[in-house]
Structure 1
Amino acid sequence: MTRELLLLRHGKSDWSKPVSDFQRPLKKRGKLGAQRIGDWLAEYELVPQRILSSPAERARATAEKCAKAMGRTAAEVTLEPSLYEADAEELARLVAASGDEVERLMVVGHNPALEEFADWLLPDPLPEGDDGKRLPTATLVRLAVEGSWSSLTAGNARLLEVQRAKTLPEGFVFATPDGIERRPRPAYYYTQSAVMPFRWRDGQLEVLLIGSSSNRHWSLPKGIVEPGLSAAQSALKEAREEAGISGEIAEVTPGHYPHAKWGARCGVTLFAMRVDDQLPEQHREEPQRTRRWLPAAAATEHLEQPSLVVELRSLIERLQAEGPA
């Protein structure tokens, strides 16, 4: 039986951050590179059944962003501590230990180990690109391996292709009623959810607004519906991260509104969230965002997006019709 082994070097990392090598993050270019590889794998139906990754920040983020662009979840990435400082021999041991039910395996790691491992597997060394590099960042090597993973030996793999993120199309595949188009971000980015945080005080409904990322205008906690999470779960996650609040989704019909971003239109589901707890400023993940409680009617006057205001007013009316619990 022929199996496939996908070797992916992490995306371009950010050396400007004063952190350890293990904690070094990806640059924006590195994030996009990981997503473009994942999008390409999904487009050509090459999604792996198992993903192993080094736990170093730049490799973990690469694996997770690649996985989500393929339609998988971050939880499906298995972190292998030994991959951080692995050599070719350790890589061979890890791959050989994979179960035979896995027909396509991805390993996300670092150089020089990945290059050395590929050279060990192939009868001839990996070819150089026009730039003289064999495995630059955000580059994927596809290998065919005959037999079980446990029978892996030197020179018994076949090179199928080497795919560099920077040679792929700029846009990401997005299906529309009119066919396929390409957008600046992966398809799942365009499905979002938000919460209208509320509380009852002295019988009056109040709404919590937060500052935008630049604090230039008021907004509500909102973000991408993460693969593996429901729209409501993603909205609650954004509320914790952006506003430092927690609570429950109220049992009222949510709203829906369009939001222009990333060169297209996102569809946003708006939930009413009853706030049960509010973290102190110093414990918030994004303390730079201003928070402000306002009477419900006044809150709608502070928001700029007309479609959001319409849905917010409608949601407020539904809550007020029910009254305090």
Structure 2
Amino acid sequence: MSQHHLKRLMLLRHAKAEFPFGVADHDRPLATRGTREAPSAGAWMMANGWIPDYILCSDALRARSTCAWVSSELGEKGPTPYQDSRVYGASATQLVSLINETPETVSTLLVLGHLPTVQEVAMALASVESEEEPVMELATRYPTLGLTLLETQKPWAELDGRDARVTGFVVPRP
């Protein structure tokens, strides 16, 4: 078996969104609180050295807005986010398939999406070597700006189930 480099995966739920009357779910904007809190996810990544070199983002407005705030905090270190309409409404299996498409040159991947999918993917990928406390936290509740941190030796294309070690779960709000 060939030796693969450690890969890091971050699963981020978008910041707090509004539920305006008559607006399609896909077009829901961030709430004032979401706009205020979203940059702290990027600030947390910078402060903790989890800087993505690839960002896969839902094309829903609230996810794109969260991504813009995160990217503003990452500055020059952050990659240009890739918006994929398939992330919005994806099942856990479909989202893992999108993660499988990630180029092997990517060492840290940020996926910015929605409930319940980000939570289901985190649970599906969590290996038996995962840290117990963050797994229990993310399984119990996955609030807005919930961020699961996973590590794996597997190639992105082979990531399937129980292949990544959950090392943390944070809600980086100010």
TM interval, shorter chain, is 0.7 to 0.9
Measured on the aligned residues, the alpha-carbon RMSD in Å equals: 2.1
Change (3 A) 1:153 1:75: closer
Tell me how far apart the structure 2 counterparts of residues 42 and 128 of structure 1 sit (CA, whole Å).
23
Tell me how far apart the structure 1 counterparts of residues 116 and 21 of structure 2 sit (CA, whole Å).
23
Structure number with the higher helix fraction is 2
Choose 9-18 or 82-91, whichever is displaced more: 9-18
Match of 1:164 in 2: 171
Change (3 A) 1:134 1:72: farther
Match of 2:136 in 1: 127
Larger CA Rg, structure 1 vs 2: 1
Q: Which residues of 2 match residues 150-229 of structure 1 at below 5 A?
A: 150-166=157-173, 170=174
Tell me how far apart the structure 2 counterparts of residues 143 and 154 of structure 1 sit (CA, whole Å).
13
Deviation sequence 1:82-116 (CA, Å, 0-9, x none): 00110111111111111110000000000111111
Matched, 1:149 2:156: yes
Which amino acid is the alignment partner of residue 143 of structure 2? P
Aligned pair partner of 1:67 in 53, 62, 71:
71
Matched, 1:105 2:109: yes
Match of 1:86 in 2: 90
1:72 Cα deviation from its structure 2 partner:
4.4
1:70 Cα deviation from its structure 2 partner:
1.3
Match of 1:23 in 2: 27
Deviation sequence 1:156-195 (CA, Å, 0-9, x none): 11011111023xxx3xxxxxxxxxxxxxxxxxxxxxxxxx
Which amino acid is the alignment partner of residue 143 of structure 1? L
1:16 Cα deviation from its structure 2 partner:
3.4
1:146 Cα deviation from its structure 2 partner:
1.3
Structure number with the higher strand fraction is 1
Deviation sequence 1:33-53 (CA, Å, 0-9, x none): 220010111122211001111
Q: What's the % identity of the aligned pairs?
A: 30
Tell me how far apart the structure 1 counterparts of residues 121 and 113 of structure 2 sit (CA, whole Å).
11
TM-score, normalised with respect to structure 2:
0.87
Matched, 1:137 2:137: no
| Higher RCO (C-alpha under 8 Å, 6+ residues apart) | 2
Question: Is residue 52–residue 78 contact of structure 1 (8 Å, CA) maintained in 2?
Answer: yes
1:147 Cα deviation from its structure 2 partner:
2.1
Tell me how far apart the structure 2 counterparts of residues 13 and 82 of structure 1 sit (CA, whole Å).
20
Tell me how far apart the structure 2 counterparts of residues 75 and 146 of structure 1 sit (CA, whole Å).
22
Deviation sequence 1:115-166 (CA, Å, 0-9, x none): 111111013693137xx84211111111001121111121111011111023
Secondary structure of the structure 1 residue equivalent to 2:49: coil
Question: Is residue 137–residue 169 contact of structure 2 (8 Å, CA) maintained in 1?
Answer: no
1:13 Cα deviation from its structure 2 partner:
0.3
Secondary structure of the structure 2 residue equivalent to 1:128: helix
Tell me how far apart the structure 1 counterparts of residues 172 and 21 of structure 2 sit (CA, whole Å).
23
Deviation sequence 1:220-276 (CA, Å, 0-9, x none): xxxxxxxxxxxxxxxxxxxxxxxxxxxxxxxxxxxxxxxxxxxxxxxxxxxxxxxxx
Unaligned runs of 5+ in 2: none
Unaligned runs of 5+ in 1: 171-325
Provide the aligned length of Structure 1 versus Structure 2.
165
Tell me how far apart the structure 1 counterparts of residues 85 and 22 of structure 2 sit (CA, whole Å).
23
Question: Is residue 64–residue 73 contact of structure 1 (8 Å, CA) maintained in 2?
Answer: no
Which amino acid is the alignment partner of residue 161 of structure 1? G
Matched, 1:5 2:14: no
TM-score, normalised with respect to structure 1:
0.48
